[in-house]
Chain A
Amino acid sequence: MTEYDQGAAAMPEFRFEPVVMPPAATGLRAEVRAFLDEEKAKGTFVATVGAMVAADPAFSARLGARGYLGMTWPKAYGGHERSALERYVVVEELLAAGAPVMAHWIADRQSGPQILKHGSERARKTILPEIAAGRCYFAIGMSEPDTGSDLASVKTRAVPVEGGFRVTGRKVWTSYAHKAHYVIALVRTGGRPEDRHVGLTQLIIDMKSPGVEVRPIINVYGAHEFNEVTFDDVFVPEDMTVGAVGQGWAMVTSELAFERSGPDRFMSTYPLLVEAFREVGGSPAPMEAAELGRLVAHLATLRRMSTSIAGMLNSGKSPITEAALVKDLGTTFEQSIPEITRRLLPLEPRAAGNGQAYDSLQQLAQMQAPCYSIRGGTREILRGMIARGLGLR
């Protein structure tokens, strides 16, 4: 074998080219930062880890009033016709500040864009302006008691009836369903669970519909985010389908690049990193400097990869494997922050005084960390996707 005879052309190459932020992004960043400083000064919120699962509807409404939600949507639907990159700036500033974004999070990131793209005109007109105003919240109904990573095995059934569907089934781990106005559920409109990807449809279900029941599922650290949602012969009007009947699977998989490469996939424990820097002070010990510096190097790199993907998405590309790489690296990174900082700054009981912020974030981060590499596709599922992108399966 000689060293040079292998064709390099066939090799998968992941290049994370720079993204050119629109000129408006700089001013916007300063504006969002000033707003968040003001809110913090008023005591609206204290920076938390897992901002994505901290809800404050009043805060979400204020974001809506300032034009920070539904940013890229047409004005006709309550949007602001700004670029995806400007939206990226707003989102990462919110996460960096550890602001409570859960209430509007799913609606603004995922459900709204889906409705805009694949929803009926009535759904767009009635729902999108409310999301953009920060008053309308969504949950996502994918997992079921017997359906987790193997999403195509869903059993919840929607039977066609006059003017729509009747839905019967059960969804679990449905975050924020207890406060959400709607859930977008992946249901079976045709075929049997053995038919896998065929016959799946996404429906917008009004949580106030008769037959919808919500039961809390308390998570490992005692918080109520998850729910079990039961549908008992719930009527869903025909024009509340998202996309064509039977096309649910294609839609669920195509949107994942948006969901997997965003700053929420590596910023969950960022506020803990900030507090760790505060604790070590201006002249850190060598090990503190190296370990915290290592985390900063990871974060700067992840941010580059994520903004680069935002640029690819903005120009209409579909970087599925790249997005999976970012989520794999990103969740590993955000999980490592509590583990590394606790080696530097032991968590020991201490009386009131300095370090309270660090202590409470450290505890919450440790308990919350396992979910980062589960939600939105487990690490193992993602590595399988990356392997497919590499031509290994």
Chain B
Amino acid sequence: MSSETEDMGVRHLMLRSLDRIVAEKAGHAVQAADGKPGFPTELWSALEEAGMTALGEENEGDLGLGNAAALVERAAYHTLPVPLAETLLARRLLAKAGIEIPDGALSVAPPSASHDGRAAGVPWASAVRGVVVATGPDILALIDARDVAAPGFNMAGEPRETIDLARARVIARARLADAPRVVEAEGALIRAVQLSGGMSRVLEHGLTWANDRIQFGRPIARFQAIQHLMAELAAEAAAASAAALMAVEAAAVRSDRFAIAVAKARTGEAAGRVCAIAHEVFGAMGFTQEHTLHYATRRLWSWRNEFGSEVQWQSEIGRMIAAGGADNLWATLTAHG
């Protein structure tokens, strides 16, 4: 009880400290990074100095998964253009495979986007010290892809690059059972957490806008049509946050593919509805880059596709339950909640 309270206190301080770093150092970093090459070194160093990049619960001195996830969620809320989530993910995976974890920013190649010796959709590949790749059914590798990555971006203008695996330098390699599946699931977990954080930003934008925007002589928040849209947005965001939180808790104590599948399926679905409603409420202003809404909504549109779209994870859940038999559905639900 007391350690739990202490933990919540630490988390609160950490999140406030992140907010402060963002206020002081992020400046126009989001705008500057949008769809352009480069790396926000100053911002990253500030996070590093604050101890926010040593993530991954299986290492001594690291933040626990719950704290790390809270930080990633908050960074997503701030739409920060740094590979914080990817670094946490890489560290978790390296720890699982028993590979020594290098300092600094890291990334992970999404297994479903690796074909014919090329790993596509790799976040920040040319800017990070190492990229974690599942190079075989049971093999995890850490590679240096800085000189062999072709540029590219996701819908949010975040770097998503293509690595020529044959030309990358292998830093380390180890056995990890079911490596591609493990990487896909851990990646989905981290994206689910980010989706939840991004949705809380969109909710906040929407509430502020609805209360500030005056039409017909009153704030549009006074119109029932707007109220009902915002209520639905809040419900979807709340469901997403609950699903992500549930998966983080599960992953902190065991390997729980079902909980992760639920989280990515539910957050991915919610993201679509949340973005659609927010843009409807914002009208033309939200459909421009004059307002910052797009930094959050374009990330949500991107993240819902990465490490398995909601449809892929829904299908996996469906197959999992069908294989276990209809009468075991309830037992599965109660065992995971």
Contact = CB atoms under 8 A, between A and B. Distances in A.
B295 interface: yes
Interface stretch (A112-120, A136-144, A298-306): A298-306
Interface stretch (B48-56, B92-100, B234-242): B234-242
Contacts of A281: 322
Contacts of B243: 297, 300-301, 304
Contact of B207 (A282, A284, A390): A390
B322 A277 contact: yes
A87 to B, nearest CB: 15
Contacts of A343: none
A329 B237 CA distance: 11
Nearest to A328: B235
Contacts of B211: 391-392
Interface of A is mostly: helix
Interface band, chain A: 35 or more
Interface string A294-316: 10111111111101100000000
B190 interface: no
Contacts of A392: 207, 210-211, 221-222, 226-227, 230
Interface of B is mostly: helix
A360 B79 CA distance: 49
A347 interface: no
Contacts of A286: 315
A5 B208 CA distance: 12
B113 interface: no
Given A4-B78, A297-B243, A274 B261 contact: no
Nearest to A273: B329
Interface stretch (A6-14, A164-172, A364-372): A6-14
B325 A293 contact: no
Contacts of B277: none
Contacts of B316: 289, 293
Nearest to B208: A6
Interface stretch (A102-110, A191-199, A380-388): A380-388
B337 A303 contact: yes
B24 to A, nearest CB: 9
Interface string A4-34: 1110100111111110000000000100000
B318 A296 contact: yes
Interface in B279-337: 291-292, 295, 310-311, 313-323, 325-327, 329-330, 333-334, 336-337
A299 B320 CA distance: 15
Contact of A294 (B246, B314, B325): B314
B242 A304 contact: yes
A329 B314 contact: no
24 contacts: A2-B28, A3-B79, A8-B19, A11-B200, A12-B207, A14-B237, A16-B241, A274-B326, A289-B319, A290-B318, A294-B310, A294-B314, A294-B317, A296-B329, A297-B243, A297-B261, A301-B266, A303-B337, A305-B239, A325-B238, A329-B239, A386-B235, A387-B227, A392-B211
